[in-house]
């Protein structure tokens, strides 16, 4: 079983990763299980830069393979906001309720035709030497609802409507979300490349 450190403390993200990566090949290790993880400051201006920082710096510090991702919401009418500040849009990091309330306020005057948005995810896998070996990204398009719908998911999921389903990620459930989401789409690109590294003997 190959061990892969997940450079995140977000339990929801780790659960999604575990559901998507081959469990018979990889054992995912969250930072919470390690004694001396690095507290990486997300100073990047893009999701790509932050994912790379979290993966490469953590990998070199731990001398282990690390997968890290950075993701967030980009709203068309808000010129791509909240973007890299998605988790702290309202000020305090990880306050989902406050972030959703602020987004609803910002979007209050926009009609349904101007509420388009994207969830975007960048994933980076770094070698123990701190070298980015895999970098992928993907996106999920939707629109911002006028009120929270559903209690599933996390972050902006209750506000992010998938037009084809006429429901939010908060309503659709884990199974469907793991097919459609930005994170799942990006990870599906990561898996074959991880297996290539294993086959080459580099990831051992």
Q: Check residue 17 and give its pLDDT.
A: 80
Enumerate the β-bridge partners of residue 7.
none
Q: Which of 70, 95, 96, 109 is catalytic?
A: 70
132 burial type by CB count under 10 A (0-12 exposed, 13-18 middle, 19+ buried): middle
Q: Check residue 144 and give its pLDDT.
A: 98
Q: Is pLDDT of 127 > 90?
A: yes
Rounded (to 5) percent helix, strand, coil in the chain:
40, 25, 35
Q: Provide the CA 140 distance to its chain's centre, in angstroms.
A: 11
pLDDT digits (tens, 9 = 90+) for 55-110: 999 999 999 999 999 999 999 999 999 999 999 999 888 899 999 999 999 999 99
Q: Check residue 111 and give its pLDDT.
A: 96
Whether 70 is catalytic is yes
Q: Check residue 159 and give its pLDDT.
A: 97
Q: Check residue 174 and give its pLDDT.
A: 82
Q: Is pLDDT of 48 > 90?
A: yes
Helix/strand/coil for 76: helix
Q: Check residue 93 and give its pLDDT.
A: 85
Helix/strand/coil for 7: coil
Are the C-beta atoms of residues 84 and 47 closer than 8 Å to each other? yes
Q: Is pLDDT of 131 > 90?
A: yes
Domain count for the chain? 1
pLDDT digits (tens, 9 = 90+) for 149-184: 998 888 999 999 999 999 999 999 888 888 899 998
Q: Check residue 10 and give its pLDDT.
A: 74
Q: Check residue 2 and give its pLDDT.
A: 85
Domain of residue 83, CATH code:
3.90.950.10
**What percent of the chain is predicted at pLDDT more than 70?**
100
Distance from C-alpha of 123 to C-alpha of 13, rounded to nearest angstrom = 12
Give one word for 40, left, alpha or beta, with left for phi > 0 and alpha for psi -120 to 50.
beta
Distance from C-alpha of 48 to C-alpha of 181, rounded to nearest angstrom = 17
Q: Check residue 94 and give its pLDDT.
A: 84
Give the mean pLDDT of the chain. Answer: 92
Q: Which residue range is the domain that position 156 belongs to?
A: 2-200
pLDDT digits (tens, 9 = 90+) for 8-37: 877 777 887 887 777 888 889 999 899 899
Q: Check residue 92 and give its pLDDT.
A: 86
Distance from C-alpha of 159 to C-alpha of 78, rounded to nearest angstrom = 15
């Amino acid at each position: 079983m190959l061990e892969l450190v997940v450079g995140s403390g977000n339990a929801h993200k780790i659960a999604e990763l575990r559901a998507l990566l081959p469990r018979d090949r990889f054992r995912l290790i969250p930072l919470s299980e390690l004694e001396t993880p690095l507290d990486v400051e997300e100073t990047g201006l893009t999701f790509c830069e932050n994912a790379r920082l979290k993966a490469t710096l953590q990998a070199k510090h731990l001398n282990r393979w690390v997968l890290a991702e950075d993701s967030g919401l980009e709203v068309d009418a808000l010129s791509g906001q909240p973007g890299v500040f998605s988790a702290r849009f309202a000020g305090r990091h990880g306050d989902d309720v406050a972030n959703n309330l602020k987004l609803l306020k910002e979007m209050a005057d926009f009609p349904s035709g101007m509420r388009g948005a994207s969830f975007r995810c960048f994933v980076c896998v770094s070698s123990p030497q701190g070298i980015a070996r895999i970098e992928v990204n993907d996106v999920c398009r939707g629109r911002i609802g006028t009120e929270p719908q559903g209690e599933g998911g996390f972050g902006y999921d209750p506000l992010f409507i998938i037009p084809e389903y006429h429901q939010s990620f908060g309503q659709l459930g884990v199974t469907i979300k793991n097919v459609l989401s930005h994170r799942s789409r990006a990870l599906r690109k990561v898996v074959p490349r991880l297996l290539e590294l294993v086959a080459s003997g580099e990831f051992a």
